Amino acid sequence: MRKISILTILLSSFISIVAQTSISADLILFNGKIWTGNESPAFVEAIAISGNKITRIGGTADIKKLANPATKLIDLEGKLATAGINDAHIHFLDGSLGLAGVDLYRSQNFQEALNAIENYVKKYPEKKWITGMGWQYNLFEGGMPTAEALKELDRITKDRPVVLDAYDGHSIWVNSTAMKLAGISKETRYEGFGSIIKDQNGNPTGAFTEAAGSIISKIVPPPTREEKLQALRMGMKYAASLGITSIQNASGSVEEFLLYETLLKKGEFTLRSSTAFSAGKKTTEADIQEFIKVKNRTRNHPILKAASIKFMLDGVIESHTSPMLEPYSDAGTDGSNANSDFALPLDVYQRLLNRFDKEGFQIYTHAIGDRTVRKALNAYEKAMLTNGTKGRRHRIEHIEQSSPDDIPRFSQLGVMASMEPIHADPGNIAVWAKAVGEKRLPHSFVWQSMLKNKVHLVFSSDWPACTNPDPIRGLHIAVNRQTPEGKPPGGWIPEQRITIKEALKSYTQEGAYSSFEETVKGKIQPGYLADIIVFSQDLFTIPSMEIAKTKVALTLFDGKIVYNDAEKIKITNMKTEKAILAGGCFWGVEELIRHLPGVKSTVVGYTGGDVLNATYRNHGTHAEGITVTYDPEILSYRKLLEYFFQIHNPTTKNRQGNDIGLSYRSAIFYLDEAQKETAVQLIKEMEASGKWPGKIVTEIEPAGDFWDAEKEHQDYLQKNPGGYTCHFERPDWKL
């Protein structure tokens, strides 16, 4: 054989080959309590992410082995992580635009609302129109803005027009200037779905319900395209702060969808969105063809698609615009407000439903009253029978009231129940409950009943048509049926409470199921999209009344961090160290070392061009040196050397079962004094114990620059001068 001299080792030129483990992670979350969404394992400690996918889950020690020097590491410090929130019914553009207007969501009484409006008017003197949203019906006596409220609004806004949406989006409150610009007077009548609210003298109070609000809204200057795009950017940041990574946009136009596509093309879209186009009496054949075109073009897109249609079949209970099986409990003695017509004629609804079902669309139907819910179920059943279709996963939205007789029909027909826990907030339910009446209260927001009947229950916010879009507030209400202050004692209709596990499932897995994406998102498991959130508290172990105090600490979308609460979550890189093992004919050593736990990369150098290289090519890599990069938390330098000495044996086989082809003489290259002391001590211990029959043939000496043919090694020596080498041999055997 050719004996490998020290000089040969020192003068060898090297070509870099990086050998890594089969899975290498870009990001690792570890030391956490991670809810997978599966029954087993229900919880794991760590997640490895490569690109935009989860590649592996498991224990911290095992997952950290997948790190390399470029891997980002996040220590969860025991925090809870889950799949990202899917808000399954949202009006994202409207909500985003509203972020720049008057915020009345926090106003708990009429005076607080006036103060918020007045402060906004003073802050923005340049605005010609004052817009906003979020007022609640219980701010006003009788549940609607009154003549007295109009006087106060006129006082603080003076000659600037004001248009303020109710929190549910079904009513507006305006000042006298806005009504004057719209030509509204005592004589104005509205024929259609909704009404102009007037006082006992017939004068408009500034309140408009449902479609009657269009008389005002049509004269409000629309935002520009750039203003809409900027609003969407704000909205996505807001959504990320709430842990929302997916949405189902529950109304929209092709024009709005194209805004999302614009942001997607610019790399700015940080949500997965499934859009439901709005359809109704004015929908034309041209509209239908346009909807079909967009559906077919986007149906398999991983981020942005539109394959659903949204119908508005009724209004809301507070304004008595949702048809009920029995009259409203607070109907007037003259028969006023006793019930309501449907927002869309049933024959038109059925005709369009049949058409869209046949074309392969999923259908959302807004149905709040129990009578409307029944009609929607009937219509779905008829469409499926007419078209011979199934598996469309049609949905009914809101379902605030439902007859017990209709609940089993959801699962029988494969219809999803899409509901908003925030709409059942006991702190805002007074006007609603008065209209429903005591007799029907047990049939309100029946989440537990839906689950008992095997119904796919999906949760959302309905933002901006809600008092609070935060999913954590929704989780609190779903589990407790109480305000954060604990009212009412024992909960509001407590028999309809559900567990935190069930609630989280409705905010994650069921949302994925709703958009036909349950095989790629909604859980924490390998192969799924890396849309993940971290909570400040463990929702599974804290007292249920503490849920509302929880915050989102971190949000990942598509494998990237899009929200980090005040940068509290620290992101680090893996700690790595290097060791260099030099020697002759390392055909299989590199491969064996490469697969050691904790080894992140190996760089080998070739001699090449000799007889041995040709003879033993089948044995593996023919090399005269290996640079090993490793994680010192998993693999110590001493353990690496112990393994190196152990396999430095003529009987050692490579992973394919062939001889590894070692030279009898090798060397260790010490990069610093600490490595020198560790290696020399280990060799002396092994010599003394008889475990290492070899001997040191060259004393420890300063290292030269024999790695200068390999740039990585040359750069390392420049930064870390003064290494050492030690040469040893096995005189008891020759190759």
Active-site annotation, residues: 585
Residue 675 is inside which H or E element, if any? helix 673-689
What whole-number distance in Å separates Cα of residue 717 and Cα of residue 507? 54
**In the block, which residue shows the tokens 């059942």?**
424
What whole-number distance in Å separates Cα of residue 428 and Cα of residue 425? 6
* Number of C-beta neighbours around residue 155 at 10 A: 11
Our CA angle for 291, 270, 81, nearest 5°, is 120
What whole-number distance in Å separates Cα of residue 506 and Cα of residue 508? 6
With beta carbons less than 8 A apart as the criterion, state whether 634 and 65 touch.
Answer: yes
Burial of 540 from C-beta contacts in 10 A (0-12 / 13-18 / 19+): middle
Positive or negative torsion for Cα 515, 518, 521, 523? positive
Three-class DSSP category at 423: helix
> In terms of DSSP bridges, do strands 244-249 and 272-278 run parallel, antiparallel, or are they unpaired?
parallel
Residue 362 is inside which H or E element, if any? strand 362-367
Sequence length of the chain is 735
Residue 86 is inside which H or E element, if any? strand 85-90
What pairs with residue 58 in β-bridges?
Answer: 46
What whole-number distance in Å separates Cα of residue 262 and Cα of residue 255? 11
Helix ranges (H only) for 183-318 are 214-217, 225-241, 254-265, 285-298
What whole-number distance in Å separates Cα of residue 654 and Cα of residue 110? 79
With beta carbons less than 8 A apart as the criterion, state whether 407 and 457 touch.
Answer: no
Residue spans of beta strands (DSSP E) within 559-688? 560-564, 571-573, 577-583, 599-605, 625-630, 665-670
Three-class DSSP category at 177: helix
Closest CA to 241 of 564, 559, 511: 564
Closest CA to 101 of 88, 78, 87, 119: 119
What pairs with residue 30 in β-bridges?
Answer: 75
With beta carbons less than 8 A apart as the criterion, state whether 591 and 628 touch.
Answer: no
